[in-house]
Amino acid sequence: MNARIPASVLQPAALQAHVDQAWDDDIVGQLTDYIAIPAKSPMFAPDWQAAGYIDTVVRNAAAWVEAQKVPGLRLEVVRLPGRTPVIFFEIDAASGADGAAPATAQTVLMYGHLDKQPEFTGWRSDLGPWTPVYRDGKLYGRGGADDGYAIYASIAAVQALKSQGAAHPRIVGLVETCEESGSYDLLLYVEALRDRLGDVGLVVCLDSGAGNYDQLWLTTSLRGNATGTLKVEILTEGVHSGDASGVVPSSFRILRHVLDRLEDSATGRLLPAHLHCEIPAERLEQARAAAAILGDELYKRFPWAHYDCDGATAFALPTTTDPVEALLARTWRPTLSVTGADGFPAMKDAGNVLRPWTAFKLSLRLPPLVEAAPAVAELKRLLEDNAPYNAKVTFEGGGGATGWNAPATAPWFARAMDDASRAHFGAGCGYIGQGGTIPLMNLLSQGFPAAQMMVCGVLGPKSNAHGPNEFLHVPYAKKLTASVAQVIAAMAARPVGADAAA
């Protein structure tokens, strides 16, 4: 029956049914096993090679892909000396059941990663980072949504196309294992595999977020990231606080003073002008459209602290309740987060001692158009110069990644995204910036400036990647998988010159 389906005509309901079955019969089980493996990224597991967890998830994913017997697929686990491994696969272009060949000789690049963030605290008593639980359509546990599902969804999308006898272009896959550490190995692999990547015309990256679970969302920008450790040393050892305080300045107070150079603590605005950029008019327009769809869910989606206040429940407040401002603040403005601290004893061990030093791990989110390397260099100068009380102040950069602003959207791609969203979600495609960082995207935009970028993901409201109770919204993932298949088919079917068509 499949051979009678024209290559240029997909049946969305049948496509979705094929994808749903793949998820229900196989992929959920694969991801359940994946979540149980603590394959933490090298930044959080320096002994990753000896531990073997990254090798295990790579081996499992590669074996699963090969077991699918996708016609024309070849897979290799590539290992550069001293580097985290990647999975590379390629699938030959295929003509449709009606004999029609793909209308493009370009390649589709499908991206994902298998390394994970660390455990973090605060998981519900019935959940845990390495304890997968599938309940009410949500698969809980670390890494399923960020981003272990990507390789499985990618192959399922290809299989769904083949189930309908649809034509598709040549497809390659690149699945890395140090994304959560800043993808510092990835450039080496891209260079090593450049000739095998081919002429990339479409990138499918499933490591991003969704504004809601009601439609397909295309990511239009990503913030960059710069990390490092700020340390203030004032003594060589701790001393009695009753004896020294008032004479010896607190290392914590000095650190606060130094951070005042960077951030207005009353508003959270970062002060250096070089950390800001002008927001493009198109992105402002898209932010207004997305805010009109999402409304106050843009800030209500977070797990705000609440407490009893005179018999009523009071909630902590966001920096803004204007949906447009909330969206821009988390996608186009720089922010500072303190993600770790050292030099502090545990509360139960904290005596009356003036501590000799304090260190904070800083994480700066940078606007998409701000270059990371100069920002980190300027940050070091700003924080270290002219230290208060002549204290020893050091900032050791932990890495940085420049953000990304999507290239102009080709008409065929815009139509394909909207058609896929309406076919599988019943609503048009939304456009939204994201506040996180995917280092690969800026690299690919530079290497393949004409490629369209299908940057999507399952990280919708309350999915809480990197935090406690992370979950993969399986119904959304199924629809996203089918949408990927439909967009790839649209690329194969577009007529010559479609990119320039109105």
- Are 358 and 482 members of one domain? no
- The reply to whether 440 falls in a domain is no
For the sheet with 224-233, list strands across it. 335-342, 357-366, 224-233, 392-401
Q: Are 234 and 254 in contact (CB under 8 A)?
A: yes
Model confidence at 495, pLDDT cuts 50, 70, 90, reads low
Instruction: Please state, for a pLDDT cut of 90, what percent of the chain lies above it.
Output: 89
- Are 181 and 47 members of one domain? yes
- The reply to whether 408 falls in a domain is no
Model confidence at 2, pLDDT cuts 50, 70, 90, reads very low
DSSP 298: H
- Are 157 and 274 members of one domain? no
Model confidence at 7, pLDDT cuts 50, 70, 90, reads very low
Q: Indicate whether 5 pLDDT > 90.
A: no
Q: Are 225 and 363 in contact (CB under 8 A)?
A: yes
d(CA 438, CA 440): 6
Q: At what angle do helices 12-22 and 149-163 cross, to 10 degrees?
A: 140
- The reply to whether 135 falls in a domain is yes
pLDDT digits (tens, 9 = 90+) for 432-441: 999 999 988 9
Mean pLDDT of 262-281: 97
Q: Are 131 and 36 in contact (CB under 8 A)?
A: yes
- Are 151 and 9 members of one domain? yes
Domain interval for residue 81: 2-222+417-432+449-497
Q: Indicate whether 502 pLDDT > 60.
A: no
For residue 387, what is the domain's CATH number? 3.30.70.360
Model confidence at 497, pLDDT cuts 50, 70, 90, reads low
Burial (0-12, 13-18, 19+ Cβ within 10 Å), 81: exposed
Q: Specify the pLDDT at position 444.
A: 85
Q: What is the helix (H) or strand (E) element at residue 447, kind and residue range?
A: helix 439-447
> Whole-number mean pLDDT of the chain?
94
Q: Indicate whether 370 pLDDT > 60.
A: yes
Domains identified in the chain, total number: 2
Query: Tokens at residue 407, please?
Result: 């290239």
- The reply to whether 406 falls in a domain is no
- Are 327 and 363 members of one domain? yes
- Are 30 and 80 members of one domain? yes
Q: Are 447 and 186 in contact (CB under 8 A)?
A: no
Q: At what angle do helices 12-22 and 474-493 cross, to 10 degrees?
A: 130
d(CA 299, CA 341): 27
- Between the CA of residue 44 and those of 39, 180, 228, 378, what are the distances in Å? 10, 9, 14, 26
pLDDT digits (tens, 9 = 90+) for 472-490: 999 999 999 999 999 999 9
Q: Specify the pLDDT at position 10.
A: 86
d(CA 448, CA 106): 11
Q: Specify the pLDDT at position 6.
A: 40
Model confidence at 447, pLDDT cuts 50, 70, 90, reads confident
- Are 289 and 422 members of one domain? no
d(CA 75, CA 154): 14
Helix ranges restricted to H, 92-182: 149-163
- The reply to whether 502 falls in a domain is no
Q: Indicate whether 462 pLDDT > 70.
A: yes
- Are 197 and 266 members of one domain? no
- Are 392 and 457 members of one domain? no
- Are 61 and 92 members of one domain? yes
- The reply to whether 337 falls in a domain is yes
- Are 231 and 170 members of one domain? no
Q: Are 141 and 474 in contact (CB under 8 A)?
A: no
SS3 content of the chain, % helix, strand, coil (to 5): 35, 25, 40
pLDDT digits (tens, 9 = 90+) for 146-187: 999 999 999 999 999 999 999 999 999 999 999 999 899 998
- Give residues with Cβ within 8 angstroms of 463, minimum separation 6: 145, 209, 470, 471, 472, 473
Q: Specify the pLDDT at position 483.
A: 98
Q: Are 251 and 358 in contact (CB under 8 A)?
A: yes
Query: Tokens at residue 2, please?
Result: 């499949």
- The reply to whether 410 falls in a domain is no
- The reply to whether 279 falls in a domain is yes
Q: Indicate whether 9 pLDDT > 80.
A: no
d(CA 465, CA 500): 38
Positive or negative CA dihedral for 197, 180, 303, 134? positive
Q: Specify the pLDDT at position 217.
A: 98
**Alpha-carbon dihedral 253, 254, 259, 264, rounded to 10 degrees:** 50
For residue 6, what is the domain's CATH number? 3.40.630.10
Q: Indicate whether 237 pLDDT > 70.
A: yes
- Are 60 and 202 members of one domain? yes
Q: Is the bond leading into 147 cis (omega within 30 degrees of zero)?
A: yes
Model confidence at 97, pLDDT cuts 50, 70, 90, reads confident
Q: Indicate whether 446 pLDDT > 90.
A: no
Q: Indicate whether 443 pLDDT > 90.
A: no
d(CA 39, CA 269): 36
Ramachandran quadrant class, 94 (left: phi over 0; alpha: psi -120 to 50; beta: rest): beta
pLDDT digits (tens, 9 = 90+) for 120-137: 999 999 999 999 999 999
